[in-house]
Amino acid sequence: MDNVYIDEVETFIVDLPVKRPHQLAMTTITTQAIVIAIIKDKSGRTGVGEVATIGGASYGDSTVEAIKANVDKYIAPHLIDQSPIRFSKIMAMVGKHVRGNLFAKAVIEMALIDLAAKQREIPAYQLFGGKIHDSLPLAWTLASGDTAKDIEEAEEMLHKKRHNIFKLKIGHGDPGANVRHVGEIVKAVGGQSRITVDINQAWDEYIAARQIRALEEMGVSMIEQPLPAWNYEGMKRLTEKFDISILADESTTSLHDTYRIIKERAGDAVALKPAKHGGVLETKKIAGIAEGAGFGIYGGTMIESTVGNAIAASVYSTISEFKFGTEIFGPLLYRDRLTLEEIKVENFEIQIPDDIGFGNTLDYDKLHHYKR
């Protein structure tokens, strides 16, 4: 049994180009930076994890450079000669030695679970509760910044039966103009789809109160993170003031953040993202307390490639209900992929892979082509 123990941990920073500029409040993505972790056991089997970040340090404090450095220096040494199936114990031990660093912990835990599942030749979801869903509703983000292009893109997605939930990034630029932009898209495709918006923390409470009223009246179904992550009281006031759902994303990072959001009712829904929560185990905990409080759940994305996207899909398949669907569309935005497998979307839903581990076969030629 010695061959099941961990022998090596490697990390890579990879820069993948996207098909079109992806505009958010804090940056515009033309190339996405991700971290790939590979954990190898003594028999040569490998487990693979991925976390992505957005816009360097403009989105959060976990940059790819910091993630790699902290995994290599402070986390990896705790893994050598450990058995991957004890991933829960390993991550508890890592947590005692490494504070914060949720993205770094997440990428390692993902690779541990992938390796443990491959050692047993089972799908990874069997190690954390078992699959409930064979597929999940898949949203698409319209983020070109051009109304005509966004409408054309939405109509194409509807025709292909790829997406009938659309999220609009409207935190960048003039709020009134952005809301009018949303109104045009609602007029064009709102009868065939559900429309949500993401502010990415860009508004203050005065602007939010004024613009959310207009968004509510035009039929938008959900507002994501309208205020800065720290403004719990403002989020609470907006939640009480409007019927439209207020979803917390950047303000629900850790389990403790989420508890505070729920306790103070600073929103009525939460966005899950395994990378920002610190991994699969913490994501399951956060989903559980949100469900227990009657909060809506949304399956968010950090715009991962096929590696991280399959991991998120596997985790989300074990969670009972997603009130607002999921947006794990990342691989569809990239020009290339790091795995032999593509994601599959049928009839507006992403299909959950049933292959061994997280269902990924890493393409090492592509990894070395795109790595820094």
Query: pLDDT (tens digit, 9 = 90+) per residue, 315-366?
Result: 999 999 998 899 999 999 999 999 999 999 999 999 999 999 999 999 999 9
Residues catalogued as catalytic: 169, 327
Structure tokens belonging to residue 108: 């390692």
Same domain for 109 and 222, yes or no, is: no
Where does the pLDDT of residue 73 fall: very low under 50, low under 70, confident under 90, or very high at 90 and above?
Answer: very high
By the 8 A CB rule, do 100 and 74 touch? no
Q: Is residue 216 part of a domain?
A: yes
Smallest Cα–Cα separation from 305: which of 87, 89, 64?
64
Same domain for 174 and 316, yes or no, is: yes
Give the model's pLDDT for residue 215: 96
Mean of the per-residue pLDDT values of the chain: 93
Q: Is the pLDDT of residue 172 over 90?
A: no
Distance separating alpha carbons of residues 366 and 328, to the nearest angstrom: 21
Smallest Cα–Cα separation from 34: which of 315, 335, 304, 329?
304
Give the model's pLDDT for residue 114: 98
CATH number of the domain to which 278 belongs: 3.20.20.120
Q: What is the pTM of this model?
A: 0.92
Q: Is residue 372 part of a domain?
A: no
Give the model's pLDDT for residue 22: 65
Q: Is residue 360 part of a domain?
A: no
Same domain for 153 and 98, yes or no, is: no
Same domain for 161 and 74, yes or no, is: no
Smallest Cα–Cα separation from 314: which of 86, 84, 131?
131
Same domain for 321 and 243, yes or no, is: yes
Q: Is the pLDDT of residue 288 over 60?
A: yes
Q: Is residue 133 part of a domain?
A: yes
Same domain for 191 and 143, yes or no, is: yes
Where does the pLDDT of residue 19 fall: very low under 50, low under 70, confident under 90, or very high at 90 and above?
Answer: confident
Helix or strand run (H / E) with residue 345: strand 345-346
Same domain for 66 and 140, yes or no, is: no
Same domain for 285 and 260, yes or no, is: yes
Give the model's pLDDT for residue 173: 86
By the 8 A CB rule, do 277 and 283 touch? yes
Provide, for the chain, the percentages of residues in helix, strand and coil under a 3-state DSSP scheme, each rounded to the nearest 5: 40, 25, 35
3-class secondary structure, 304: coil
Q: Is residue 145 part of a domain?
A: yes
Phi-psi region of 301 (alpha: psi -120 to 50; beta: other; left: phi over 0): beta
Containing structural domain, residue 12:
2-122
Q: Is residue 109 part of a domain?
A: yes
Where does the pLDDT of residue 24 fall: very low under 50, low under 70, confident under 90, or very high at 90 and above?
Answer: low
Number of domains in the chain: 2
Q: Is residue 181 part of a domain?
A: yes
Q: Is residue 337 part of a domain?
A: yes
Same domain for 147 and 31, yes or no, is: no
Same domain for 263 and 157, yes or no, is: yes
DSSP state of 6: E
